[in-house]
């Protein structure tokens, strides 16, 4: 990507960081340890969630860096042929989001300088209004240039208990970033009554974990707040583009503190008055469970499965063999969702709104109302020792 | 079987005829053309429906004769090792129940004499109270000895629109058959209001297609009512135990009239006053659809699928490989039914009363309320040209 793709000359490009971790347990049996959520096309968009994330960032980013687990490196490289191999950073083991994002930020600082703007965006979210997203990132970049750690605040479309919230304070006066507001604080996932109170004030946004900052600003905050973690990350980053990378990584990485970027940086820096937010409405979804998929996958308008959302060959094992049309048929089942990665004929008869997930070794039949309980099913399989199904 | 198994010395043994035809379309995808309903263990009894039918008749029959299609002969022989091979009669093509039962009756008449009592019982029904069944067959045998064509009238447990009804008239005075009543007529499947009227009179029973008669009486009625059909059947029966069987069968069978025994004999003979019925309450079920299975298969009382009726390895393809326990698990799904012939883990989450039928090439998800609509699904597959799934 070159500077010429910048559509608003007043906003600088960022270096995009995409932490790609987490299995997406609530989407079992579609998502598995070895086929995590971000590697799947869960919305029938014709591209996987991580491919969508990278594509969406192209208009606002100079480079893309992905941090993922060793186990998923090959699959990520396969799915992202446009991302240079040197920008795919493999973690030897999961050390939570601060280590992952911190390492990427430090490597970018070494490669592009500490003034470089970085922006971190999860690999497994969807956004329908990309223009609104780009506008928010551009404002965030301008605020970040001015020294802020910036988070994008998602307009809450309901009193969700599934997300943490950002509390916005007074406006910030940065040219060309009119929506910027100081962040008064972050909250954990609230209960329903508290969430409703948040919404009523008009000052709360969902925290989607999107952070934009100068690399040097982020790393300086980390050095001040978590000096050991910062030192470890800097050691690895300094060795990254040298022959010593593997040796240093193996020695230092395992002892890095496991902590989320929210706790390590966002909360304490916000308390000190250093975090800004750009509120935005962009049709965002974290694809958190089958209830989300029911909303994200359009129902077929004709054919044997009319009225049903069908997600064929969603990227899991065996999906390559799947024929497209005609494998799912439905009668009297409007609003149902079928996700299938097998060759079987799936027939729904009189089951409106049902969720059927059909994979070669596991079948889940549930409803959107039970989407959050899927995690418990996976926990049960784990307790049973059925690692082959996880 | 010898005479010693007769428990009531006053009742003669019958020669049991079991017509085994029909795919059981409403139990798709468990039942298929090549794995018809009667060859499956649909109730988790540990034996298939035809095995249950033969076992249930042992106490009241001297011999057992099965009439089935060529395509199912090998499977029937495998499942019924106790029935002599010569008593398995293969039809070259389906010619409806009169030809099937008539042929068996005529072969039995040649082997055991025209005075022999025959009794015809469908291969794919279940009966929970076998003593009541035996009692009814014994009374029917006594009435048949006296020259009646006898049908067993099933106590109607509700105003079903799925069965034809028998209308019983005045009692018949035959010693040791106190329940015998003249049949005033047979009805086609009624609408719900008519069925309710039938029940209110107390004179109507369900017609389960169970007929008992002297072989000669049945064949004489046929000769009078359908002389061409009777002559054709007699030609084949006369050649059956000779080297000419195949030649005569191939020449005569294809032109036999296709007609049900109800229309060919039961209705006209009843109109002439020659049919009796023995009303009986015996826990009868014709296993007509998944709604019936929900009632017939007991729910598991413990384990991961507690509260759910599980029918593993129901006899269809691949069932031999199925492990027993632990393959189905359920949360918040009481009253659901899972029939599975695959190796997959099936998980139900929050779907009480649902019906899930999991086979290697087809998955059906439905409810007991839609049991009768399954036939329409199969018709649709046929229209689509998916003969491989039928």
Instruction: For residue B272, count other CB atoms closer than 10 A to its CB.
Output: 11
Provide the total of helices (H) and of strands (E) in chain A, helices listed first. Answer: 12, 17
B343, B349, B363: residue with CB nearest A370: B349
Same domain, B323 and B280: no
pLDDT of the residue at A314:
54
Same domain, B94 and B157: yes
A347, A350, A366: residue with CB nearest B349: A366
Q: Which residue has the tokens 């109302």?
A: A369
- A37: domain CATH number is 3.90.550.10
User: Looking at A74-88, A112-126, B18-32, B47-61, which range is the least confident one?
Assistant: B18-32
Residues of B in contact with A344 (CB under 8 A): 359-363
Residues of B with CB under 8 A from a CB of A: 29, 304, 326, 329, 331-332, 343-351, 354, 356, 358-367, 369-370, 373-374, 376-377, 380-381, 384, 386, 389
Residue of chain A minimizing CA distance to B326: A384
pLDDT of the residue at A1:
36
CB contact under 8 A, A370 and B361: no
What whole-number distance in Å separates Cα of residue B101 and Cα of residue B18?
8
Same domain, A273 and A356: no
Three-point CA angle B371, B373, B377, nearest 5°: 120
pLDDT of the residue at A318:
40
In this predicted model, what pLDDT tens digit does every residue of A48-96 receive, in sequence order? 999 999 999 999 999 999 999 999 999 999 999 999 999 999 999 999 9
Same domain, B297 and B213: no
Confidence of residue A187 (pLDDT cuts 50, 70, 90): very high
CB contact under 8 A, B349 and A360: no
Residues of A with CB under 8 A from a CB of B: 29, 304, 326, 329, 331-332, 343-351, 354, 356, 358-367, 369-370, 373-374, 376-377, 380-381, 384, 386, 389
CB contact under 8 A, B373 and A350: yes
In this predicted model, what pLDDT tens digit does every residue of B324-349 receive, in sequence order? 445 899 999 999 999 999 989 999 99
Q: Tell whether the model's pLDDT for residue A124 goes beyond 60.
A: yes
Q: Stretch A184-207: mean pLDDT, rounded?
A: 95
Residue of chain A minimizing CA distance to B360: A344
CB contact under 8 A, B377 and A350: no
Q: Stretch B7-17: mean pLDDT, rounded?
A: 81
pTM for this model (two decimals): 0.88
In this predicted model, what pLDDT tens digit does every residue of A321-380 receive, in sequence order? 444 445 899 999 999 999 999 989 999 999 999 999 999 999 999 999 999 999 999 999
User: Looking at A32-36, A232-236, A374-378, B205-209, which range is the least confident one?
Assistant: A32-36
CA distance A314 to chain B (A): 18
Single out the residue in A261, A285, A309 at which a domain terminates.
Answer: A285
CB contact under 8 A, B349 and A326: no
What whole-number distance in Å separates Cα of residue B36 and Cα of residue B195?
30
Nearest to B352 by CA among B340, B330, B335, B365: B335
Same domain, B63 and B34: yes
Same domain, A207 and A281: yes
Q: Stretch B69-97: mean pLDDT, rounded?
A: 96
Q: Stretch A104-132: mean pLDDT, rounded?
A: 97
Same domain, B20 and B38: yes
Residue of chain A minimizing CA distance to B374: A349
Domain total of chain A:
2
CB contact under 8 A, A363 and B386: no
Q: How many CB pairs under 8 A join A and B?
A: 114
ipTM: 0.87
Nearest to A365 by CA among B294, B302, B377, B355: B355
In this predicted model, what pLDDT tens digit does every residue of B87-107 receive, in sequence order? 999 999 999 999 999 999 999
Confidence of residue A44 (pLDDT cuts 50, 70, 90): confident
Q: Tell whether the model's pLDDT for residue B304 goes beyond 70.
A: yes
- Residue B284 contacts residue B157 (beta carbons within 8 Å): no
Ranges assigned E (strand) in chain B: 14-20, 61-69, 88-91, 117-120, 126-127, 149-154, 165-171, 181-187, 204-214, 275-280, 284-285, 309-312, 328-331, 337-340, 345-349, 355-358, 362-366
CB contact under 8 A, A350 and B366: yes
Q: Which residue has the tokens 């089935």?
A: B68
* Residue from B305, B348, B349 whose CB has the most chain A CBs within 10 Å, to mutate: B349
pLDDT of the residue at A322:
44
pLDDT of the residue at B327:
87
What whole-number distance in Å separates Cα of residue B131 and Cα of residue B126?
13
Q: Stretch B279-301: mean pLDDT, rounded?
A: 93
B350, B370, B389: residue with CB nearest A366: B350
pLDDT of the residue at B155:
95
Please provide the average confidence, as pLDDT, over all residues in chain B.
Answer: 92
Please provide the average confidence, as pLDDT, over all residues in chain A.
Answer: 92
Q: Which residue has the tokens 């017509």?
A: B19
Q: Find the helix packing angle between A227-240 and A96-112, rounded to 10°.
A: 50
pLDDT of the residue at A172:
96
Q: Residue A236 gets which letter from DSSP?
A: H
- Residue B343 contacts residue B321 (beta carbons within 8 Å): yes
A265: Cα within 13 Å, side-chain hemisphere: 30
B29, B348, B370: residue with CB nearest A365: B348
Same domain, B352 and B216: no
A177: Cα within 13 Å, side-chain hemisphere: 29
Q: Residue A266 gets which letter from DSSP?
A: I
Same domain, A272 and A310: no
Residues of A in contact with B364 (CB under 8 A): 347, 349
Structure tokens belonging to residue B265: 């004999």
Q: Stretch B124-145: mean pLDDT, rounded?
A: 97
Confidence of residue B228 (pLDDT cuts 50, 70, 90): very high
Name the strand (E) or helix (H) holding B295.
helix B290-296
Nearest to B73 by CA among B44, B34, B47: B34
Confidence of residue B323 (pLDDT cuts 50, 70, 90): very low
User: For residue A181, what are the domain limits?
Assistant: 3-285
Nearest to A145 by CA among A180, A197, A106, A190: A180
User: Looking at A114-118, A136-140, A325-329, B97-101, which range is the least confident one?
Assistant: A325-329
Structure tokens belonging to residue B318: 């691949």
CB-based burial of residue A188 (10 Å sphere; 0-12 exposed, 13-18 middle, 19+ buried)?
Answer: exposed
Same domain, A117 and A253: yes
pLDDT of the residue at A7:
44
Backbone angles phi, psi at B172, to 5 degrees: -115, 140
What whole-number distance in Å separates Cα of residue B106 and Cα of residue A313?
57
Same domain, B255 and B315: no
A304, A348, A380: residue with CB nearest B365: A348
Confidence of residue B21 (pLDDT cuts 50, 70, 90): confident
Single out the residue in B258, B285, B312 at which a domain terminates.
Answer: B285
pLDDT of the residue at A313:
66
Residue of chain B minimizing CA distance to A346: B363
Single out the residue in A263, A285, A307 at which a domain terminates.
Answer: A285
Name the strand (E) or helix (H) holding A135.
helix A130-145
- Residue A57 contacts residue A16 (beta carbons within 8 Å): yes
Same domain, B146 and B241: yes
């Amino acid at each position: 990507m070159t500077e010429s793709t910048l559509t608003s000359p007043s906003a600088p490009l960022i270096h995009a960081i995409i932490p790609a971790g987490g299995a997406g347990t609530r989407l079992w049996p579609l998502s598995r340890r070895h086929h995590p959520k971000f590697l799947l096309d869960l919305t029938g968009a014709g591209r996987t969630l991580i491919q969508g994330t990278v594509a969406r960032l192209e208009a606002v980013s100079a480079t893309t860096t992905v941090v993922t687990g060793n186990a998923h490196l090959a699959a990520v490289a396969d799915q992202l042929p446009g991302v240079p191999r040197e920008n795919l950073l493999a973690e030897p083991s999961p050390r939570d989001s601060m280590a992952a994002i911190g390492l990427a930020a430090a490597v970018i600082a070494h490669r592009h300088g500490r003034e470089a703007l970085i922006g971190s965006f999860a690999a497994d979210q969807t956004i329908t209004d990309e223009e609104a997203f780009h506008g928010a990132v551009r404002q965030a970049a301008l605020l970040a240039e001015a020294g802020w750690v910036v988070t994008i605040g998602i307009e809450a479309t309901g009193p969700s208990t599934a997300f943490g919230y950002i509390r916005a304070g007074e406006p910030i006066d940065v040219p060309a970033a009119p929506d910027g507001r100081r962040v008064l604080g972050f909250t954990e996932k609230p209960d329903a009554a508290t969430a409703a109170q948040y919404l009523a004030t008009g000052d709360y946004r969902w925290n989607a974990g999107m952070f934009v900052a100068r690399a040097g600003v982020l790393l300086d905050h980390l050095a001040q707040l978590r000096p050991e973690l910062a030192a470890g990350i800097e050691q690895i980053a300094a060795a990254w583009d040298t022959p010593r990378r593997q040796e240093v990584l193996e020695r230092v990485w395992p002892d890095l503190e496991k902590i989320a970027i929210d706790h390590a940086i966002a909360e304490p820096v916000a308390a000190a008055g250093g975090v800004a937010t750009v509120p935005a409405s962009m049709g965002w979804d974290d694809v958190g469970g089958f209830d989300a998929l029911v909303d994200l996958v359009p129902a077929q308008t004709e054919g044997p499965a009319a009225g049903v959302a069908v997600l064929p060959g969603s990227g899991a094992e065996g999906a390559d063999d799947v024929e497209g049309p005609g494998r799912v048929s439905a009668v009297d089942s409007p609003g149902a969702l079928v996700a299938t990665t097998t060759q079987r004929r799936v027939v729904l008869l009189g089951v409106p709104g049902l969720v059927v997930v059909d994979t070669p070794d596991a079948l889940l039949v549930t409803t959107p109302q039970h989407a959050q309980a899927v995690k418990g099913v996976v926990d049960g399989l784990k307790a049973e020792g059925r690692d082959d199904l996880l």
